Amino acid sequence: MIVADRGDYVLPWTQYHVDHRHRQEKYRKEHHAYWAAQKR
């Protein structure tokens, strides 16, 4: 999912299906890294 941070809230812009397991893991890591950086 690609999101847009609007300060007090976040908007989901799009999402798409990922067939390959290694891609799922890659995007999952990116997702967690993004949210971890937002909490700082």
Per-residue confidence band for 2, with pLDDT thresholds at 50, 70 and 90: low
> What pLDDT sits at residue 25?
93
Q: What span, in angstroms and rounded, lies between the C-alpha atoms of 3 and 12?
A: 4
Amino acid at the residue 34: Y
Q: What span, in angstroms and rounded, lies between the C-alpha atoms of 18 and 4?
A: 21
pTM reported for the whole predicted model: 0.55
Tell me the domain boundaries of the chain: 2-38
In the predicted model, is pLDDT for residue 12 greater than 90? no
Tens of pLDDT along 15-36?
A: 778 899 999 999 899 989 998 9
